[in-house]
């Protein structure tokens, strides 16, 4: 006999196995419009199902229809009122996606979360933290976001560029 917890853990392991069939990647693109061809080539060569992008440098003036990724949809969160930054997620058009509302609590942490359904349902997030922004509020915000997202009880994948110095040296 299995306990409820063991049954739940087995179900999560099975979901992870089936979700692992999806190929997920991340790229710090440093201007998506300047690297459209390279991103399309990466999608084609690696046969990625999901590609998370940080530092897209997109603004509201750039319409998503101008960003051509054949066979993919784009979800994005542009940085407001400043240049640089921004995150996006490219997903195969055959995948069902739902953008999740996850607050950033006014920090410099930029994030985007999608629930993606294929054979199973997973959650994928991408984030970017500017290197000169304060660290503690970003960590608190990330903790809050993860608490909300993990409550969905789905396999969760988080990719991005957080610019945390883990070498032990103070900045």
Res 133 pLDDT > 90: no
Average pLDDT, the chain: 89
The string of pLDDT tens digits covering residues 50-62 is 999 999 999 999 9
From residue 137, give the alpha-carbon distance in Å to each of 32, 36, 93, 126, 132.
27, 33, 35, 18, 13
Q: Which residue has the higher pLDDT, 9 or 27?
A: 27
Token pair for residue 135?
Answer: 């660290």
Q: Give the range among 29-33, 46-50, 79-83 with minimum mean pLDDT.
A: 79-83
Res 1 pLDDT > 70: no
**What is the structure's pLDDT at 171?**
47
**What is the structure's pLDDT at 121?**
94
Res 20 pLDDT > 80: no
Q: Which residue has the higher pLDDT, 34 or 3?
A: 34
Q: Which residue has the higher pLDDT, 95 or 170?
A: 95
Q: If you average pLDDT over residues 118-138, what whole number do you get?
A: 92
The string of pLDDT tens digits covering residues 68-123 is 999 999 999 999 888 899 999 999 999 999 999 998 888 889 999 999 998 899 99
Q: Which residue has the higher pLDDT, 52 or 19?
A: 52
């Amino acid at each position: 006999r299995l306990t409820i917890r063991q049954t739940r853990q087995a179900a999560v392991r099975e979901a992870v196995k089936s979700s692992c069939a999806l190929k997920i990647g991340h790229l710090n693109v440093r201007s998506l419009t300047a690297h459209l061809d390279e991103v399309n080539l990466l999608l084609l060569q690696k046969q990625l199902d999901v590609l998370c992008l940080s530092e897209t440098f997109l603004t509201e003036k750039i319409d998503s229809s101008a960003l051509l990724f054949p066979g993919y949809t784009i979800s994005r969160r542009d940085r407001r009122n400043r240049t640089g930054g921004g995150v996006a997620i490219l997903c195969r058009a055959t995948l069902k996606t739902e953008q999740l509302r996850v607050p950033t609590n006014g920090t410099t942490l930029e994030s985007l979360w999608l629930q993606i359904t294929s054979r199973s349902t997973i959650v994928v997030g991408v984030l970017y933290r500017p290197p000169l922004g304060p660290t503690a509020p970003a960590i608190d915000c990330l903790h809050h976001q993860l608490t909300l997202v993990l409550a969905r009880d789905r396999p969760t994948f988080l990719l991005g560029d957080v610019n945390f110095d883990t070498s032990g040296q103070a900045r």
